[in-house]
Amino acid sequence: MEALRRRLRLDPQVIRRLRAVFLRSFCGQDAALGEVPEATRSEVSTAVRFHELERIETLHSVLDGASKVLFKTRDGCRIESVLLRIKTGRSSVCVSSQTGCVAGCLFCATGRLKNVRNLTPPEILDQVVQTGEMLQAEGRRLRNVVFMGMGEPFHNRENLFSALEQLSSPGGFHLSGRHLLVSTVGVPEGIRRLSSCFPSVGLAVSLHSVRQDVRDELMPYCRQWPLPELRAAILERNTVYNQPVMIEILMLEGLTDTDADCAGLKEWLAGLQVHVNLIPYNPVPGTVPVVAGQVLLGSREQRVGEFLAELKKAGFKATRRHSLGADIQAACGQLAR
């Protein structure tokens, strides 16, 4: 962009306005080009590629404010993003960082996909741009960007960090760290690097169980990082950078929701700055995952409430996630191209 500006002898303010209209206001390509003097507008339009992805299908939930967007990359890969329109008026986009995921978590549709490749920074960021434009057309504003879509973000760490740099940069999307969140299966080195490079960006860890054998079966890829090593990385983030961590627990009947599980979780979290988020299990059609000899079933509502109450009674910040988009396979763990 700078080389183009110099060649066309454009005022730097022109490029700043173009980027602000496109990356912050999400007003689209035509509005962005409207900031360019008419004499050079055609040349800028030809030289600049505004979108890296092709939006090929959008599904809207009839139950809630979720939309699932199917994108295609230039080499033909397909990825999904999810728009979440919260009743309070806040809007978030759940973006993908890979075309699949090698973590292979038994409860997740993405982990069953093959042909996994990392998404480039433009491919990551264009999910934000295009969903932001959808919201802008509805009179809504995109507030939060969460890396909870397809892929393990820390497996694509350099491109993730490049995207975060643009999302937080005053010359880019100019989002504050409290409106950005990265979710991981629990890669200790990734946690440390994120905390060091982007301390204000939120972090969520898919813990699910503090019983090592259960977690190993639910999340086979995570066997290489024992729970003590994961806890040490979380504690370092707390103490060195004074930043909390969201701990995600998938509520599975008889597997992660028992009294023993609750007691073990409270013991494991003691002394950590955390916010515990209890997540409902969203089955993946056509699959019957089995762990420790039992089919995965979501916890009953009453049990989730009891588990939540016990955590709060122990002094932990805890909430229950209400997943959106289940009717269009857009809820947690259901993204599968």
Tens of pLDDT, residues 179-205? 999 999 999 999 999 999 999 999 999
| H, E, C per residue of 234-278 | HHHHHHHHCCCEEEEEEEECCCCCCHHHHHHHHHHHCCCCEEEEE
- Please tell me what DSSP assigns to residue 305: H
- Which element (helix H / strand E) includes 182? strand 180-184
Average the pLDDT over 142-148 and give the result. 97
Burial 81-103 (b: 16+ CB within 10 A, else e): bbbbbeeeeebbbbbbbbbbbeb
CATH hierarchy code of domain 52-328 = 3.20.20.70
**Average pLDDT value over all residues in the chain:** 95
Q: In whole angstroms, give the CA distance from residue 152 to residue 96.
A: 9
* pLDDT winner (highest mean) among 98-107, 290-299, 326-335: 98-107
Q: Which two tokens stand for residue 304?
A: 């989730």
Query: What confidence score (pLDDT) does residue 320 get?
Result: 95
Share of the chain above pLDDT 70, in %: 100
Tell me how far apart the alpha carbons of residues 333 and 88 are, in angstroms, rounded to a whole number.
24
Confidence of residue 5 (pLDDT cuts 50, 70, 90): very high
Flag whether pLDDT at 161 surpasses 90.
yes
Domain ranges, ordered by start, for the chain: 1-50, 52-328
Q: What is the pLDDT of residue 159?
A: 98
What's the rounded Cα separation, in Å, for the pair 203 and 47? 37
- Distance between terminal CA atoms of the chain? 33
20's tokens: 């602000």
What is the percent of the chain with per-residue pLDDT over 90, rounded to a whole number? 86
> pLDDT (tens digit, 9 = 90+) per residue, 254-269?
999 999 999 999 999 9
List active site positions: 80, 332
pLDDT at site 59: 95
Residues 206, 56: contact at Cβ < 8 Å?
no
pLDDT digits (tens, 9 = 90+) for 202-234: 999 999 999 999 999 999 999 999 999 999 999
Q: Which amino acid is at 2?
A: E
Question: What does the pLDDT look like over 39-67, one tens digit per residue?
Answer: 999 999 999 999 999 999 999 999 898 99
Contact 231, 268 (CB under 8 A): yes
Six-digit token string for 43: 């040349």
User: Taking 80 as the threshold, does the pLDDT of residue 16 lie above it?
Assistant: yes
Query: Among residues 156, 33, 41, 138, which one has the least CA distance to residue 95?
Result: 156
The pLDDT value recorded for residue 43 is 96
Residue 279 · residue 334 · CB < 8 Å: no
pTM of the model: 0.95
